[in-house]
A and B are shown apart, each in its own frame.
Chain A
Amino acid sequence: MTKIVIVGNGMVSFKFCEKFSSREDYGQYSITIFGEEHLPAYDRVHLSSFFENGTAEDLILAPSKWYQDHGIKLHCGMLVTGIDRYHKRVQTLCGHSESYDILVLATGSHPFVPQIPGVEKQGVFVYRTIEDLEAILEYSKTIDDATILGGGLLGLEAAKATKDMGLNTQVVEFASRLMPRQLDILGSEALQRKMSELGLKIHLSKNTSEILGGDKINGLRFADGTAIDTDMLVISAGIRPRDQIGRECGLTVGPRGGVVVDDHMRTSDPSIYAIGEVALHNGMIYGLVAPGYEMAQVAIDNITGSTTSFNAADMSTKLKLIGVDVASFGDALSSSEDVIPIAFNDPFSGVYKRINISKDKKYLMGGILVGDAESYNLLLQMYKNRMPLPPHPEDLILGARNGAGAGIGLEQMPEQAQICSCENICKSQICKTITSGKAENLGELKEQTKAGTGCGACLPMVKDLMELTLKSMGKEVRNVLCEHFDYTRQELHDILKVKEIKTFQGLLESVGTGDGCEICKPAVASLLASTWNELVTQQATIQDTNDRYLANIQKGGSYSVVPRVPGGEITPDKLIVIGTIAKKYNLYTKITGGQRIDMFGARVDELPEIWEELINAGFESGHAYGKALRTVKSCVGSTWCRYGLHDSVSFAIEVEERYRGLRAPHKLKSAVSGCRRECAEAQSKDFGIIATEVGWNLYVCGNGGANPRHADLLASDIDSNTCIKYIDRFLMFYIKTAEPLNRTATWLNKMEGGIDYLRDVVVNDVLGIGEELEREMQFMVDTYKCEWKEVVNNPALRARFKHFVNRNEPDPTMAFAAMRGQKVPVNWGS
Chain B
Amino acid sequence: MITRTTTYKTTEAAEVSNWFRAGSVDDFPENGGSCIWYKGLQIAIFNFSTRDKWYACQNLCPHKQQMILSRGIIGSFQGHPKVACPFHKKTFSLETGCNLNGNLEDLAVYPVKVENAYVYVGFSF
Contacts and interface: CB of A to CB of B under 8 A. Distances in A.
A616 to B, nearest CB: 27
A518 interface: yes
Interface string A789-816: 0000000000010011111010101100
Q: Which of A520, A542, A557 neighbours the largest number of chain B CB atoms within 10 Å of its CB?
A: A557
A518 B117 CA distance: 28
A122 interface: no
B103 A541 contact: no
B37 A804 contact: yes
Given A541-B31, A805-B22, A830 B75 contact: no
B103 A65 contact: yes
A514 interface: yes
Interface stretch (A393-401, A544-552, A632-640): A544-552
A541 B71 CA distance: 8
Contact of A516 (B3, B71, B76): B76
B82 A517 contact: yes
Nearest to A549: B71
Interface string B110-125: 0000000000000000
B36 A829 contact: no
Nearest to A799: B27
Given A65-B103, A517-B76, A541-B31, A806 B36 contact: yes
B66 interface: yes
A628 to B, nearest CB: 18
Contacts of B102: 57
A830 B64 CA distance: 6
A518 B3 contact: no
Contacts of A830: 1, 64
A439 to B, nearest CB: 15
Interface in A473-518: 483-484, 505, 514-518
Contacts of A557: 66-68
B42 A811 contact: yes
B30 interface: yes
B27 A805 contact: yes
B66 A828 contact: yes
Given A518-B84, A830-B1, A544 B66 contact: no
A804 B42 CA distance: 8
A365 to B, nearest CB: 43
Interface in B46-84: 48, 50-51, 63-68, 71-79, 81-82, 84
A264 to B, nearest CB: 35
Contacts of B35: 803-805
B34 A805 contact: yes
Interface string B81-92: 110101101010
Contacts of A542: 31, 73
A806 B73 contact: no
Nearest to B22: A806
Contacts of A803: 35
A112 B35 CA distance: 53
A387 interface: no
Contact of B66 (A57, A505, A556): A556
B43 to A, nearest CB: 10
A550 B64 CA distance: 23
A79 interface: no
A541 B76 contact: no
A541 B66 contact: no
B75 to A, nearest CB: 3
B28 interface: yes
Contacts of A544: 73, 86
A43 B42 CA distance: 35
Contacts of A829: 1, 3, 64-66
Contact of B29 (A483, A484, A545, A800): A800
Contacts of B78: 483
A557 B71 CA distance: 10
B22 A516 contact: no
A522 interface: yes
A807 B68 contact: no
A521 interface: yes
A540 interface: yes
Given A541-B29, A804-B36, A522 B67 contact: no
Given A540-B29, A804-B36, A813-B67, A515 B73 contact: no
A57 B64 CA distance: 11
Q: Which of A55, A518, A557, A813 neighbours the largest number of chain B CB atoms within 10 Å of its CB?
A: A518
A462 interface: no
A708 interface: no
A814 B30 CA distance: 27
Given A805-B35, A806-B36, A830-B1, A514 B91 contact: no
Q: Which of A57, A514, A549, A553 neighbours the largest number of chain B CB atoms within 10 Å of its CB?
A: A514
A410 interface: no
Interface in A51-108: 55, 57, 60, 62-63, 65
B81 to A, nearest CB: 7
Given A540-B32, A557-B68, A805-B35, A521 B73 contact: yes
A474 to B, nearest CB: 26
Nearest to B24: A805
B73 A522 contact: yes
B71 A545 contact: yes
A545 B86 contact: yes
B101 to A, nearest CB: 10
Given A517-B84, A553-B86, A828-B66, A806 B71 contact: no
Contacts of B51: 515
A518 B67 contact: no
A520 B77 CA distance: 12
Nearest to A508: B50
Contacts of B66: 556-557, 828-829
Contacts of B77: 483, 517
Nearest to B77: A517
B37 A806 contact: yes
Interface of A: 55, 57, 60, 62-63, 65, 483-484, 505, 514-518, 520-522, 540-542, 544-545, 548-549, 553, 555-557, 800, 803-807, 809, 811, 813-814, 828-830
22 contacts: A57-B103, A57-B104, A484-B75, A514-B79, A515-B74, A515-B81, A517-B73, A517-B75, A517-B84, A518-B72, A521-B73, A540-B29, A540-B32, A545-B71, A553-B71, A553-B87, A805-B27, A805-B35, A806-B22, A813-B4, A828-B1, A828-B64
* Top-8 shortest CB links A-B: A541-B32, A829-B65, A517-B75, A518-B84, A545-B86, A515-B76, A63-B103, A829-B1
Given A514-B75, A515-B48, 18 more contacts: A57-B104, A505-B31, A514-B79, A515-B51, A541-B74, A545-B68, A804-B42, A805-B22, A805-B23, A805-B35, A809-B37, A811-B42, A828-B1, A828-B65, A828-B66, A829-B3, A829-B64, A829-B65
